[in-house]
Amino acid sequence: MRVAVVSGPGQSGLLRELNEDGSPTGNAVAVTDVVAAIREYEANAEVRWVWPSADGTYQRLLESGVRVARCHDITLADSLILGRDAALGITAPRAAAASARAVLQAAAAADATQNAQAGEQQGLFDVAEAGAPERPDPRAVLDALIEVHRDQLRRIAADEHPDRFGLLVTAESAGALVAAEMSLAGLPWRADVHDALLTDLLGPRPAVPGQRPAQLADLAGRVADAFGATATAARHLAVNPDSPAQLLQALAADGIRLPSTRLAVLKNVDHPAIAPLLEYKELARLHSAFGWSWLDTWVRDGRFRPEYVVGGVVSGRWASRGGGALQIPRLLRRAVVADPGWVFVVADAAQLEPRVLAALAGDRAFAAAASAGDLYAELAAAFGGDRAKAKVAMLSAMYGGAGGEAGQLLAVLRKRFPAASGYVEAAARAGEEGRVVRSVLGRTCPPPSANWRALTEEAADPDSERDPGAGRASRARGRFTRNFVVQASAADWALVMLVSLRAALANTALANTAQAITASATHRPQLVFFQHDEVIVHCPAEQADEVVDAVVRAASAAARLVFGDTRVAFPLSKRVVDCYADAK
């Protein structure tokens, strides 16, 4: 059963049941408490909620103690569908659907302004405050929602591979539920451990905000002293290690001219200031990105609660708004400690992207190698037993490296595994020619820009010379599409694995009750982190074995759903630990 839901004043709302093709069945029902209505539906039927966006809406439902099993997120679905249509030149939505989208956009704008103005906790669907854009009538919003949803279902069905593309839209919507649940649960984080790690590396927390910690101040002084020691005058004494311009000027004064102060450039420089400067840069980056200010901002009640952005990268990988959730330094993983009596189950896919290529290409020899535990070790036979060379060749195939030794190794790979090599090379040619490519489930890469087309198109006058940058632009887009087909397909697998794991966790023995989906998460396994190909589940210690089994089943289900009957294995490393740092 599908049920469309939109907001009304206060806690009220409108609901309307839909057929599987999106057409309405029965009349719209006005409810005074939409939270209670959703809770009742979830307890008595299998429902797929159709709503404009899970972003914000579901977070507020969770805070009211309501968890839903399924949804169709109009915003995320539109991003996939309209992105595909624009890239492939498919006819724009019909006028009725376009008009309905305008109504939904007006409602979303009013909600966004309302949320920005809200100074305290509000109801689930409170009306906008004075000064906010006027929100369309709820019945008009409901009608628009139903129209856009029906249009989306039609356009999904018209896809070249409707089952695959439908799975992608479904998984993307389910991912929004996971993202909201992870933000609410939060990643357990020991602020005292974090503080101790910072103090050990940087010195005590400065009493004055903005002041350098003792260790950074000492290193900055050593950098200035090193420049001063090589100078005939005091011209270097004010060198600020945070200023690339001052550093380049100081180095130039000592006869060293550099294009930038990037680490890769500085590491090759022989100068007494370089050693303390490199140490300073490393610690300053930690202090800036994950220092005490980060700790004050992002950790509350023993939890780090980032805001995940589903499909935030063009390849389908997730992103996050603030907090650097997807880039937790290895050092600070010591602060990620499970609650007493609980553990982390940390699982990540081994060598995911090469295995995805093997499944995509249908290369029998490559698939046989990918069915082993260490793919690169299996490929090494083609490179005289050298695993490192096998890895370089594989990365060159996926990322487009072809210079020097990489080119020679890539030639060996092409000869040994022609189908796998041909798959990514065909994607590269498509990109160079200005065409688009798609992931295994149908996520479409962005089309080339108008500037790119203007730069790369052949001149109308055959005697004129082509822009010298055209070749570089074409090759750059080829490298992008070469990697897109693999990375986006890997993101497809990871997303389906994640939502499959969510479903499996809901059915673990200790969570499987009639009220499981709406029950408090206090004693349930909780997904608390997701990063590309890695997941963390926080669970009571006695449930660890069940959770590990759920992870294995989710990975197997994802392989079957995304790639069908494939010989390629997608093994996961699984660790049960008290501290995230101990997982690797």
User: Is 111 in contact with 123 (CB distance < 8 Å)?
Assistant: no
Q: What is the pLDDT of residue 405?
A: 66
Helices 404-416 and 387-399: angle between axes, nearest 10 degrees: 90
pTM score = 0.88
Q: Which of 253, 247, 249, 284 is nearest to 266 (CA)?
A: 247
Q: What is the pLDDT of residue 232?
A: 44
Give the distance from CA 75 to its chain's centroid: 17
Q: What is the pLDDT of residue 404?
A: 62
Please state the domain extents for the chain.
2-158, 192-293, 305-352+491-583, 361-485
305-352+491-583, what's its fold? Alpha-Beta Plaits (3.30.70)
- Cβ-Cβ contacts under 8 Å for 575 (sequence gap 6 or more): 344, 345, 346, 347, 582, 583, 584
Listing DSSP states for 376-445 in one string gives HHHHGGGGTT-HHHHHHHHHHHHH---SHHHHHHHHHHHHH-HHHHHHHHHHHHHHHTT---B-TT-PBP
Q: What is the pLDDT of residue 512?
A: 44
Burial of 165 (0-12, 13-18, 19+ CB in 10 A): buried
401-405, long-range: CB within 8 Å, 24+ apart, which pairs? none
Specify the DSSP element, H or E, that contains 303. Answer: strand 303-304
Profile the chain (584 residues) by mean pLDDT over runs of 10 residues.
Answer: 92 94 94 94 94 86 92 95 86 77 84 56 46 77 94 94 97 97 95 97 92 94 82 56 92 91 91 94 94 94 93 93 84 96 94 89 80 76 81 79 68 81 91 94 93 76 62 89 94 97 80 44 84 94 95 94 89 94 90
Distance CA 581, CA 584 (A): 7
Give start and end residues of each alpha helix (H) in 71-161. 74-88, 95-117, 138-157
Structure tokens at 507: 């059915």
